[in-house]
Chains A and B, each alone.
Chain A
Amino acid sequence: MSKETMTTSNPGTETEDDDSLASPTPGSEAVEESSPSRSSGSERTVIESRNLDVYYGTEQALQSVDIQIPERQVTAMIGPSGCGKSTFLRCINRMNDLIDAARVEGDLLFQNKNVYDDDVDPVALRRRIGMVFQQPNPFPKSIYDNVAYGLRLQNKTENLDEKVEEALKGAALWDEVSHQLDESGLELSGGQQQRLCIARAIAVDPEVILMDEPASALDPVATSQIEDLIDELAQDYTVVIVTHNMQQAARISDKTAVFLTGGELVEFDDTQKIFENPEHQRVEDYITGKFG
């Protein structure tokens, strides 16, 4: 996997309209991004799967998953190891394309467009759906260049300093690194590196941020900072987070999806409902530690 595919921004796609998922058209003009207006508390669905099946070779990883993920809320995916939650996350921005044996059936809609349609460019898709991973993965570049990376690839270098500063502030990192922007991102602490990766992701202004256990490698203080940040990010972005930490899901998410063994989405509801009075006994057994 290249470094580029590990981030929100990806090279070679700087000429497309940001709201388009279509494959790039040679010779088209670069279009400055135009953020749609965003209202807080929206229940509008931004991601929807219908009868989604995923196979790795002959093994089925997801079974007929139907889910509607609301805009600008935090949706948590929980479940035991191997239940398919990360597989689902990686379907959203087609990261599973990078796995040869992976096969996807059914529909996965982003803004009502099936991301697996032939005319969808996965690179363009990933620019609108960023991703943050379990292990912080800053590039071996300066803090500044890490954040500016995607913007430069998209030829969005106008007011670059301001954009870098805005992204670092958005990731709650600016105050800690504003005096050392030329230093390597690898010199930062684990928690700071993770926030740098979040800054890199939001610098190109995606609509969705996928997080695959973003705090599991961090200490409690850094975890708390990331959780606070996720809450703030949900003001502007749709956040989908996979976590093994159920208390973390309970703390930070608006909606929770519970996957259980066999890639089955058993229950999806308001987080409060899931953790206070789930509908399904299997979910109750899982979250109370009687199963799994």
Chain B
Amino acid sequence: MPRKDYQTQLTDLRENVLYMSEVVMERLRMGLDALEQKDDELAWEVIEGDEEVNQLYLDLEGECIDLLALQQPVASDLRMIAASFKIITDLERIGDLATNLGEYSLDADQDVFPEVDIQELGSLTLDMIEDAMVAYDEESADGCYEIADRDDDLDALCERASEIVVRDLIETELENNTEQEVETLLQDVSRLLLTVRDLERIGDHAVNIAARTLYMVENDDELIY
């Protein structure tokens, strides 16, 4: 395969990773909207759309393997492909977690704990993914460090949200509720805690993307674990 095509393949890989990130972020936005609006149709769209994300992942994995096998990349090219190979795994996992939000939305049947702002947490995670992908696109080391710093704030907010939920549950008087009402409340609490956990994990995946991008840009593995 001519070397000219190799450069085109590298450009295509980068653009396809960015495209996959756009698809995944859209799924995450839809999952958050489904949760907020209790929109079953939107929730199903997110759940069924995960197949597209999985296929994108497999296609990009194939592109990376082909480049490694056929072009024997080195130096910055190798780092870009290796980083992309890892980043698409994080994007695929974010897609799975967005699907979880859709499933939580389908199961939820009442508002609980309005003081926990899921949309705010979701917005923070979306911003982190978006900025991590901008850092990847623009090869910005500074952007990578900034994502890692923001994850500490997200973790603190998620921990605070979980504390609120657990504390309220402990303090809720359930004597006057029916068994069915208690069961529903527990399921909603459980779903809310899982939602907070999933959003926190999405933040971790955004940090992973930033870490691999930093490796790609500067051969620096400081942010990897």
Contact = CB atoms under 8 A, between A and B. Distances in A.
Question: Do A and B belong to a common assembly?
Answer: yes
B78 interface: yes
Interface in A242-292: 246-247, 250, 275-278, 284, 287-290
Nearest to A285: B75
Contact of A250 (B74, B76, B219): B74
B7 to A, nearest CB: 8
Interface residues of A, number: 12
B143 interface: no
B167 interface: no
Interface in A220-259: 246-247, 250
Given A284-B75, A284-B76, A276 B3 contact: no
Contacts of A246: 72, 74
B113 interface: no
B6 interface: yes
B104 to A, nearest CB: 43
B81 to A, nearest CB: 11
B212 to A, nearest CB: 15
A288 B72 contact: no
B73 interface: yes
B73 A288 contact: yes
A137 B79 CA distance: 41
A276 B72 contact: no
Interface of B: 3, 6-7, 72-79, 219
Interface of A: 246-247, 250, 275-278, 284, 287-290
Given A246-B74, A276-B219, 20 more contacts: A246-B72, A247-B72, A275-B74, A275-B75, A275-B78, A276-B75, A277-B76, A277-B219, A278-B75, A284-B75, A284-B76, A287-B74, A287-B75, A288-B73, A288-B74, A288-B75, A288-B76, A288-B77, A289-B3, A290-B7
